[in-house]
Amino acid sequence: MISLFLDIKDLNVDLKDFHLQNINLQVKEGAYHVLIGPTGSGKSVLLETIAGFYKPYQGQIMLEGKDITPLNPEDRGISIVYQDYVLFPHMNVFENISYGLKKKNKSDKSFLESRVYEMAEKLKIDHLLKRDTRTLSGGEMQRTAIARSLIVEPKLLLMDEPFSAVDVNTHAYLTTLIKNVIEEYQTTCIHVTHNFNDVYNLAEQVAVMKDGKILQQGTLHDVFSRPSDDFVANFVGVHNVFKGQIVGHDKSLLKIRINHDIIIHSSDVFEQHSSDKTDVMVAIRPESIIFSNEPFISSVRNQLKGVVKNLFEVGHTVWIEVQVGGVTFRGVLTPNSCESLGIERGKEIYLSFKSLNVNLMEYHDDAYRSI
C-alpha cells in the first residue's frame, strides 16, 4: 500500500532577503517528485530546509509520521546530492563512496567492500574505484556522489540539479541510469531541475514554485495539461493562454468566447464556475493543435481558420504562430510535416484541437497577463 511518506505542513522560513511561505508538500513513499520553477523561486532553500540546514520559524516536516523539524541534519536519515558533486579530494572513488557507510559499520570490512562494489557496479563506476576523484569526468564525479548518497540507504534522497554540469549526452545517460537505480532501491526522491527533459523522463509528481511559494503540485499530466493559473501555464510551456468567457452549453460541452468573436468548446469539468457569462482562463498545449490545408471532416469540435504569421525552428521542431481574428495560436510541427503542408508566412491554414484539450482555469484580474 502506497502511503504518505513526507508531509510538509505550513512551512515558513525567514532568510532575511528571502522567505519560504506556507509550503505544503506531500510525497508518497517510493515516489520520484520533481521541483521546478524560475531561478530564485526557493527550490534549493526548500531542499536544504528538508535536509535540516535551515530551521523554519513555523510549520512541520513529517517523515514517516515522525516530526523531524527539530532534528539535526545527521539525524534525519536524508541524503542530498548537489550539482557540484562535493567529493572529498583527498579520497579516491572507493573511499568517497564508502565514507558514510564506514561511519555506520566501522568493524565489518567485508560488508563494506561488498556494498561499495555492488553500488559502484549499479552506477557503472566499478572500474574507477581506485581512481583519484580529481581525474574523473563530470559524469563520473556525479555518479560517485550519487553512489555515496545511496549506499547509506537514506529514507529520502534529495538532488539539487544533479546533472546540470554535464554535457547533453552524459545528461541523457545519467538520467536513464539514475532512474533505474532509484527504482531498484525503491528510494523516495525529490529532484530540483531546470531541465524539462528531466521532468518528462523522471517525474511522477511535480511541484511548481515561484517567489518562495508552491503554486501547484500534482501528477505530471495534471500540472502540464491542467495548470492552476497563467504563470504555471506559461512556465510549463502551454503557450496558448487566453482570457475567455463561458457563454453557453452544448450538450456536455462548455462554449467559451475568446477575443469577442472566437467560439471554442471545452469538455473540462470546471466546477468552480460553469454558469453563462463567467470569466475563465483557457489553456491549450501547442502539441494539441493539429494543422491542415482543408477543414477536417471529423468529430473534432474546435476547427478554426487563420493566417500563418511566423514560424521558427527550435531544435528538431518548427513552431508555428497562426493569427485567428485577434488571437495568436501557437503550435508545433516536425520539419517534414511543415514542408508537406507548405506552411509559410501569410498562408491560410486550418487548425483544430479536441474539446478535452481545452483546459479551463479560474480567472483573476490581478493574475491575468496578455501573451
User: What pLDDT, on a 0 to 100 scale, did the predictor assign at position 62?
Assistant: 97
Please say whether the beta carbons of 152 and 104 come within 8 A: yes
User: What pLDDT, on a 0 to 100 scale, did the predictor assign at position 369?
Assistant: 41
pLDDT band at 3 (very low <50, low <70, confident <90, very high): low
Please give the residue range of the domain that contains residue 153. Answer: 4-225
Of the listed ranges 90-94, 103-107, 162-166, 205-209, the one predicted with least confidence: 103-107
pLDDT band at 217 (very low <50, low <70, confident <90, very high): very high
Choice between 296 and 7, residue whose per-residue pLDDT is larger: 7
Domain assignment present for 298: yes
DSSP character for 187? -
Same domain, 174 and 271: no
What are the distances in angstroms from CA 194 to CA 200, 208, 364? 12, 11, 27
What are the pLDDT digits (tens) for 78-113?
999 998 878 999 999 999 999 988 877 665 788 889
Domain assignment present for 371: no
What sign for the dihedral angle of Cα 351, 314, 367, 208? Answer: positive
What residues have CB less than 8 Å from 145, skipping those under 6 apart?
81, 82, 85, 86, 87, 96, 162
Domain assignment present for 370: no
Nearest to 144 by CA among 103, 84, 74, 203: 84
What are the distances in angstroms from CA 24 to CA 149, 172, 207, 222, 345? 26, 31, 10, 18, 47
**How many domains, in total, are found in the chain?**
2
Domain assignment present for 368: no
pLDDT band at 272 (very low <50, low <70, confident <90, very high): low
Please say whether the beta carbons of 233 and 227 come within 8 A: yes
Alpha carbons 330 and 240: distance in angstroms, whole number: 6
What are the pLDDT digits (tens) for 338-354?
999 999 999 999 999 99
Same domain, 95 and 127: yes
Nearest to 185 by CA among 106, 114, 123, 102: 123
> What is the percent of the chain where pLDDT is above 90?
68
Same domain, 138 and 34: yes
Same domain, 350 and 321: yes
Domain end (from 176, 202, 225): 225
Provide, for the chain, the percentages of residues in helix, strand and coil under a 3-state DSSP scheme, each rounded to the nearest 5.
30, 35, 35
Same domain, 293 and 271: yes
pLDDT band at 219 (very low <50, low <70, confident <90, very high): very high
Q: Which amino acid is at 170?
A: T
Same domain, 199 and 312: no
Q: Which amino acid is at 362?
A: E
User: What value does the mean pLDDT take over residues 144-159?
Assistant: 93
Kindly report the CATH number assigned to the domain that includes residue 317: 2.40.50.100
Same domain, 179 and 276: no
Same domain, 201 and 268: no
User: What pLDDT, on a 0 to 100 scale, did the predictor assign at position 102?
Assistant: 82
Is it the case that residue 316 has pLDDT exceeding 70? yes
pLDDT band at 68 (very low <50, low <70, confident <90, very high): very high
- φ, ψ of residue 304 in degrees (nearest 5): -130, 155
pLDDT band at 174 (very low <50, low <70, confident <90, very high): confident
Domain assignment present for 42: yes
Domain assignment present for 13: yes
Domain end (from 170, 196, 225): 225
Same domain, 149 and 243: no
What are the pLDDT digits (tens) for 18-28?
999 999 999 99
Same domain, 218 and 78: yes
Domain assignment present for 346: yes
Alpha-carbon Rg of the chain, whole angstroms?
25
Separation of CA 139 from chain center: 22
Kindly report the CATH number assigned to the domain that includes residue 78: 3.40.50.300
Please say whether the beta carbons of 287 and 332 come within 8 A: yes
Domain end (from 208, 225, 242): 225
Q: Where are the alpha helices (DSSP H) in the chain?
A: 43-51, 93-104, 109-122, 138-150, 168-185, 196-202, 220-225, 230-235, 335-340
- φ, ψ of residue 321 in degrees (nearest 5): -110, 120
Is it the case that residue 2 has pLDDT exceeding 60? no
Same domain, 9 and 106: yes
Same domain, 246 and 346: yes
Grid coordinates belonging to 146 = 550519487
Domain assignment present for 164: yes
